Amino acid sequence: MHLSLVYFSKPVLHGYFRSSCSWRVRIAFALKGIEYDQVPVNLIKDGGQQKSQQFKTLNPMQQVPAVEIDGMILSQSLAVIQYIDETRPGHPLLPADLKKRAQVRMISDLIASGIQPLQNLYVIQKIGAEKVQWSQHFINRGFQALEPVLKETAGKYCVGDEISMADICLVPQVYNAERFKVDLEEYPTIKRLNQALLDVEAFKVSHPSRQPDTPADLN
């Protein structure tokens, strides 16, 4: 059941083209058919625009995304995804079945809490020259846990045959794995699901290669 809300205006997504967390929100908006505006926050330029005083008022953690929606600001991607699922009609991002819903949340948290933060830009900048080896190690460690989980839960997509928040989390994480040259042949279920999802229009339009702030050499 969706809450009855007065929608103030189109949501505004403050994000970065290659940010996993920003991409998750873009996918969710696309799946729901929600129009939104984008304000790019360049995480590299000028030492990182996320560190500006102006952006800190939106997200004190100095991370993207920050989403202005319904008269408030939300700054964690899974909170944004679950909020729009609870307040907007359209494609459900969490299954009605409570067991499947728990599985979706488990997979989403495994990725969003257990894998992705260890390749966060702030972290790998601190690691320095060893950032590739560091990222490969922790992505492989996470995928070694995720692969058997997905073997049990997957149908066409991560949990059964409907796209969910788990799929929204998976694709950006696989993109990161490919950036850091992780061998996906070791993870056939992850690879299969990712390939299927990349054929879905919502994942195509939200891809880092197709954003307003995408560098020209990545188009």
39-53 pLDDT tens trace: 998 788 877 779 788
Q: Any idea what the CATH number is for the domain that residue 82 is in? A: 3.40.30.10
pTM listed for this prediction: 0.93
What is the extent of the structural domain holding 153? 98-203
131-186 pLDDT tens trace: 999 999 999 999 999 999 999 999 999 999 999 999 999 999 999 999 999 999 99
Q: Which residue has the tokens 């505006």?
A: 37
Lowest-pLDDT range of 7-21, 96-110, 130-144: 7-21
Q: What is the pLDDT of residue 60?
A: 85
Q: Any idea what the CATH number is for the domain that residue 106 is in? A: 1.20.1050.10
Asked if 72 and 129 sit in the same domain, the reply is: no
67-77 pLDDT tens trace: 999 999 999 99
Total tally of structural domains belonging to the chain: 2
E strand spans, 121-189: none
Q: What is the pLDDT of residue 22?
A: 97
How far apart CA 4 and CA 72 sit, in angstroms, is 16
In the predicted structure, residue 196 carries a pLDDT above the cut 70:
yes
Asked if 188 and 117 sit in the same domain, the reply is: yes
Pairing of strands 37-40, 12-15: parallel
Residue 7 covered by a domain: no
